[in-house]
Amino acid sequence: MAIIDKPSDYFNTVLYTGNGGTQAITGVGFKPDFNWIKDRDGTPSHVLHDIIRGVTKRIMSNNTNAEDTGSQINSFDTDGFTLSNNNNNTNGNGFAAWNWLAAGNQGSSNTNGSINTTYTSVNTTSGFSISSYTGSGSNATVGHGLGVTPKVILVKCVSATGNWKMHLSFLAPITSLNLSDTSSLISTASVFNSMATLNSTVFSVGTEGDTNSSNVNYIAYCFAEKQGFSKFGSYTGNGNADGTFVYLGFKPAFTLFKKTNATSEWFLYDNKRLGYNVTEKVFEANTTSAEDSNSGTYIDYLSNGFKLRGTSGNTNTSGSTYIYLAFAENPFVTSTANGSIPTTAR
One DSSP character per residue, 299-337 reads: EEEETTEEEE----TTT--TT-EEEEEEEEEEESEEEET
- pLDDT (mean) for 158-172: 96
* b/e map 176-196, b = 16+ CB within 10 Å: bbbbbbbbbbeeebbbbbbbe
pLDDT for residue 276 is more than 90: no
pTM value? 0.95
Binned at pLDDT 50, 70 and 90, residue 277 comes out as confident
CA distances 49 to 3, 69, 268, Å, are 28, 11, 18
Binned at pLDDT 50, 70 and 90, residue 338 comes out as very low
Cα angle 51-54-60, degrees, rounded to a multiple of 5: 90
- pLDDT (mean) for 276-288: 92
| pLDDT at position 309 | 94
Binned at pLDDT 50, 70 and 90, residue 1 comes out as low
| pLDDT at position 229 | 97
pLDDT for residue 335 is more than 60: no
Strand, coil or helix: 220: strand
Identify residue 240 by its one-letter amino acid code: N
pLDDT for residue 262 is more than 70: yes
pLDDT for residue 334 is more than 50: yes
CA distances 87 to 70, 175, 281, 331, Å, are 11, 34, 21, 35
Q: What is the pLDDT of residues 200-210, one digit of tens each?
A: 999 999 999 99
DSSP state of 191: H
Provide the mean pLDDT of the chain: 93
% the chain with pLDDT above 70:
95
pLDDT for residue 343 is more than 50: no
Strand, coil or helix: 155: strand
- pLDDT (mean) for 71-93: 91
Of the candidate ranges 36-50, 60-74, 140-154, 323-337, the one whose mean pLDDT is the lowest: 323-337
- pLDDT (mean) for 158-170: 97
Of the candidate ranges 17-21, 88-92, 254-258, 334-338, the one whose mean pLDDT is the lowest: 334-338
pLDDT for residue 337 is more than 50: no
pLDDT for residue 298 is more than 90: yes
% the chain with pLDDT above 90:
86
| pLDDT at position 305 | 97
Of the candidate ranges 33-37, 123-127, 290-294, the one whose mean pLDDT is the lowest: 290-294
| pLDDT at position 196 | 75
pLDDT for residue 223 is more than 70: yes
CA distances 316 to 106, 182, 196, 239, Å, are 39, 16, 32, 5
Give the Cα separation of 159 and 234 in Å (integer). 32
| pLDDT at position 133 | 98
Backbone CA torsion sign across 79, 85, 86, 90: positive
pLDDT for residue 339 is more than 60: no
What's the first-to-final CA gap in the chain, in angstroms? Answer: 24
How do 202-205 and 119-123 pair as beta strands?
unpaired
pLDDT for residue 289 is more than 70: yes
- pLDDT (mean) for 305-318: 95
| pLDDT at position 345 | 37
- pLDDT (mean) for 226-253: 96
